[in-house]
Each structure stands twice: as C-alpha cells, then as structure tokens.
C-alpha cells in the first residue's frame, strides 16, 4: 500500500499568467492538499474521503482519479486493477490547484505501484494533458509546482516542460479561500482573445524583471514587479470588492497581493510574520463568506509531491 500527498499551489503568482506556479505549505504544519492511497486489487475501486469529497462526481468515470488510471493503463498498454482512496482536502474551483493535487497524487501513486514505467517528464506531460481536459486548455502552472515543488517557471517545451527558479525564504504567503466556487473554465471565458502591444510589452517587462529579481535575490524589486495585466483586470468582476480588499491588505503592510490562479482565492505576500498574522486575521474577518472558507499563512513548499504515512 502506498500513500501519496500533493500540495496546493498558487497559479500565475500574479505576474506570470500560465507561466509561473508556486507550491505552498502552511507554516503550522497542516497538509494543504490531496492524498491518494493505492494498492493492487482484483477490480478497480475508488473511495472518496476528505472534507470536500461531497463536491466530487458520484460516477467513477467522471472522477479525475478514474481518468488518470484509464489514461495511464492505455499508455503502458496494461489494464492493472487498483483500489484507490482519494482524500479530497482542497475545495474544487478554489484557485489553489485542486484538480492538479488530485491528478499529481494519483498519477505518482499509480506510477509507483506499477514499478515506475513513466519517467518524470512523461508523467508531467500526462498531468498537463489531464489538467487540460478539465480546465479547457493544457497548462502546467499548478501541476508542475505540485509535482516538483518550489516556484516553477513553465517553459512548455517538449524536452523541458518546467524549471524551478529561486524563491524568497523570508516571504510569507497568506492565502484566503472565501468558501465559494469559481471554475477555471468560466474564469478563462472572461479574458479577451487579443491584447494590445502596450499590454504585452508591459507584462513581459514585469515578468522578466521578476525572474531577474528572483535569481539575484532582490526581494523589494520582485515584490514591485508582481503586477498583473493579463487576467486580473478582467477577473476582478468575478471577485466582489477585490480592489478594495487589495488596497486594504497593502495598507496592512503586504508587499504584494493578487488572485491565486483563476480565483476566488486571493494571496498576499509579507516578509514580516507579525504583518502576515494581521493580514490573516483581517482576511478571516472580512473575506470569508461562510464557515467552509479558510485562511493560511504559508511557506513555499520546496518538496512537492511525496510519500507519507
């Protein structure tokens, strides 16, 4: 029996739409992500557990886990039956890479119990393919950090899909999920099909500056460059009072603030734990819309997917 954990992630990281992604872990040691337990079986079995298991499809064929198993068996040209328990600890449509967590933990678990027929690159490509079927387009900004850990730069070259870039160890990432759902596919529909030359140049400048600041460890410069021109201006209408909340969070001392993935989770960055706690408290009181919502102060999770238990 094998148990695999895949961490939650922040897609886009503000400045890098579909190009940057960061795996995260709460500083209190909680596991923020999905777990998959797998063993060989006479017939395929799937049991859903966890806080958000009630959000999953009733029929196995509609479940991400089944899709992963089915695709994997086709690739290796063997139909090996397994029994899988999915612990769904992330809400669907949260902007924290929920589907990526399930995909990464499932495919790593299946690959391991089948004696690792797929290498790292083959697994990552398969993860992106499955993710694309769910969200409407292949993208790696959640599956790559959840799988490989750290802050990932998505190259999407067939030979080099993603590479880890330096992050700032002094940064605290505060994430707040309000308790409501927003599908990635729906959030993509509000984006324009074309952008002006000025916007493309401006976004490229800030992204390049953020990458440069990350490698040269210029924390202030990196924070100033985390500006978003591709998705945030169009998605703010899907997040009530986002601009007002962002302004308040920055007044509390955040060095950056943005939408995590397609939302509705938002993130803030602070290099001071006292300020991070103030922001966390404010978000708990003012951003959460129901009792299922949550706020976590996090580090970057440098490990990515891993075996636990």
Distance CA 181, CA 49 (A): 19
Give residue 108's domain range: 2-165+303-307
Q: What is the mean pLDDT of residues 156-168?
A: 91
Distance CA 173, CA 254 (A): 10
Q: What is the DSSP letter of 230?
A: S
Quick check: 39 pLDDT over 90? yes
Q: What is the mean pLDDT of residues 157-171?
A: 93
Residues 24 and 145 in one domain: yes
Quick check: 219 pLDDT over 90? yes
Q: What confidence score (pLDDT) does residue 188 get? A: 87
Distance CA 250, CA 255 (A): 7
Q: 29 pLDDT band (50/70/90 cuts)?
A: very high
Residues 39 and 141 in one domain: yes
Q: What confidence score (pLDDT) does residue 134 get? A: 78
Instruction: Give the domain CATH number at 244.
Output: 3.30.70.890
Residues β-bridged to residue 9: 23
Residues 25 and 130 in one domain: yes
Q: 58 pLDDT band (50/70/90 cuts)?
A: confident
Residues 140 and 239 in one domain: no
Quick check: 111 pLDDT over 90? yes
Q: Who has greater pLDDT, 270 or 137?
A: 270
Q: What are phi and psi of 118, to 5 degrees?
A: -105, 140
Quick check: 186 pLDDT over 90? no
Residues 182 and 153 in one domain: no
Residues 69 and 12 in one domain: yes
Q: What confidence score (pLDDT) does residue 179 get? A: 95
Residues 139 and 7 in one domain: yes
Quick check: 174 pLDDT over 80? yes
Distance CA 176, CA 287 (A): 7
> Which residues lie closer than 8 Å to 251 by C-beta, 6 or more apart?
none
State pLDDT tens for residues 226-281.
999 999 999 998 998 899 999 999 999 999 999 999 999 999 999 999 999 999 99
Residues 200 and 108 in one domain: no
Distance CA 87, CA 53 (A): 7
Whether the Cβ atoms of residue 46 and residue 63 lie closer than 8 Å to each other: yes
Residues 159 and 211 in one domain: no
Distance CA 185, CA 139 (A): 12
Q: E strands within 111-200?
A: 151-154, 162-165, 172-177
* Entry pTM: 0.95
Q: Who has greater pLDDT, 30 or 60?
A: 30
Phi-psi region of 179 (alpha: psi -120 to 50; beta: other; left: phi over 0): left
Whether the Cβ atoms of residue 104 and residue 6 lie closer than 8 Å to each other: yes
Contacts 24+ apart (CB under 8 A), 188-197: 188/135, 188/136, 188/137, 188/262, 190/234, 190/235, 190/237, 190/238, 191/230, 191/231, 191/234, 191/235, 192/234, 195/230
Q: State the pairing for strand pair 151-154/20-26.
A: antiparallel
Instruction: Give the domain CATH number at 10.
Output: 3.30.230.10
Residues 150 and 61 in one domain: yes
State pLDDT tens for residues 9-21.
999 999 999 999 9
Residues 156 and 196 in one domain: no
Domain count, the chain: 2
Residues 44 and 112 in one domain: yes
């Amino acid at each position: 029996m094998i148990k695999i954990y895949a961490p939650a992630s922040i897609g886009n990281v503000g400045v890098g739409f579909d190009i940057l992604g960061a795996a995260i872990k709460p500083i209190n040691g909680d596991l923020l992500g999905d777990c998959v337990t797998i063993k060989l079986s006479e017939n395929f079995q799937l049991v859903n557990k966890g806080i958000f298991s009630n959000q999953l499809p009733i029929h196995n064929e509609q479940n991400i886990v089944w899709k992963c198993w089915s695709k994997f068996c086709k690739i290796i040209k063997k139909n090996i039956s397994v029994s899988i328990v999915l612990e769904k600890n992330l809400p669907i449509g949260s902007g924290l890479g929920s589907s990526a967590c399930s995909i990464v933990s499932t495919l790593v678990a299946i690959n391991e119990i089948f004696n690792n027929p797929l290498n790292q690159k083959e697994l990552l490509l398969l993860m992106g393919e499955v993710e694309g079927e769910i969200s409407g387009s292949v993208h790696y900004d959640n599956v790559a950090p959840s799988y490989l850990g750290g802050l990932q730069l998505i190259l999407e070259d067939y030979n080099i899909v993603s590479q880890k870039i330096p992050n700032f160890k002094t940064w605290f990432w505060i994430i707040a999920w309000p308790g409501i759902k927003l599908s990635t596919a729906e959030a993509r529909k509000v984006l324009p099909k074309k952008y002006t030359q000025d916007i493309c140049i401006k976004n490229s400048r800030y992204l390049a500056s953020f990458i440069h600041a990350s490698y040269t460890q210029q924390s202030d410069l990196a924070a100033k460059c985390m500006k978003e021109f591709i998705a945030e201006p169009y998605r703010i209408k899907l997040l009530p009072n986002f601009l007002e909340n962002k302004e308040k969070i920055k007044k509390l001392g955040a060095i950056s603030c943005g939408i995590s993935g397609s939302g509705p989770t938002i993130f803030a960055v602070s290099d001071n734990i006292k300020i991070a706690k103030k922001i966390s408290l404010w978000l708990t009181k003012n951003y959460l819309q129901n009792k299922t919502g949550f706020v976590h102060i996090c580090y970057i999770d440098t490990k990515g997917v891993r075996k636990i238990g």
